[in-house]
């Protein structure tokens, strides 16, 4: 099987089979990341399709991509943000201007700052290794494989640290926001 760089170059030149291999390799991760954000299997499925469609439409850029997982992550994040913005506007009984005004209300700004502070405090409670891996994954957007390579750990070790960190953070945030 060709390496990812060969697949990227082939897909960039219009090779549909190479692009299909890239889709098959990354589909599940993109779908589950999207599902975690939108909480709807149907919306996650549609967004995942849109992400790969956009990747195909911009395939000429694939030759310059250093990290395909990171590139897809950014592409996916932008698609999800657009989807969520549209959903807010579509479900809002008032115009988007009022939504912006609501966000600027002092009590809502305070709630946002409190939530952010709670998240930062939770991150600080993690073990040094979990804190490092959590930041690399969630803030820098690196894949488990990329983190494992940088820290010279196994991919499974990174995954275990992330599961523990995420479970801790969920509990930490839930306990403090009640």
Looking at the chain, the domain(s) classified CATH 1.10.10.10 span 105-177
Model pLDDT for residues 24-71, shown as the tens digit of each residue: 999 999 998 888 888 888 888 999 999 999 999 999 999 998 888 999
Q: What is the average pLDDT score of the chain? A: 83
Q: Is the pLDDT of residue 99 over 80?
A: no
- Determine whether domain 105-177 maps to CATH 1.10.10.10: yes
Q: Which of 135, 152, 143 is nearest to 28 (CA)?
A: 143
Task: Give residue 49's pLDDT.
Answer: 93
- For residue 108, what pLDDT is reported? 45
Tell me the C-alpha distance between 33 and 63, whole Å: 25
- CB 75, CB 51: distance < 8 Å: yes
4-91 in CATH: which number?
1.10.1740.10
C-alpha dist (Å) from residue 55 to 10, 23, 33, 75 = 14, 10, 17, 8
Per DSSP, the three-state class of 54 is: helix
Residue pointed to by tokens 């996916």:
76
Which pLDDT belongs to residue 153?
92
């Amino acid at each position: 099987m060709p390496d990812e760089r060969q697949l990227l170059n082939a897909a960039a030149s219009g090779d549909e089979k190479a692009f299909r291999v890239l889709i098959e390799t990354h589909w599940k991760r993109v779908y589950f990341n999207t599902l975690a954000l939108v909480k709807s299997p149907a919306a996650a499925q549609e967004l995942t399709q849109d992400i790969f469609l956009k990747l195909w439409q911009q395939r000429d850029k694939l030759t310059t991509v250093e990290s395909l997982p990171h590139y897809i992550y950014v592409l996916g994040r932008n698609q999800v943000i657009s989807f969520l913005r549209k959903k807010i506007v579509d479900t809002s009984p008032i115009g988007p201007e009022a939504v912006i005004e609501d966000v600027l209300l002092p009590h809502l700004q305070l709630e946002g700052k409190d939530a952010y502070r709670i998240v930062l405090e939770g991150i600080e409670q993690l073990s040094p290794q979990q804190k490092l891996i959590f930041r690399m994954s969630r803030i820098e957007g690196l894949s488990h494989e990329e983190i494992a390579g940088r820290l010279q750990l196994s991919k499974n070790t990174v995954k275990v640290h992330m599961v523990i960190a995420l479970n801790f953070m969920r509990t930490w945030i839930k306990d403090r926001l009640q």
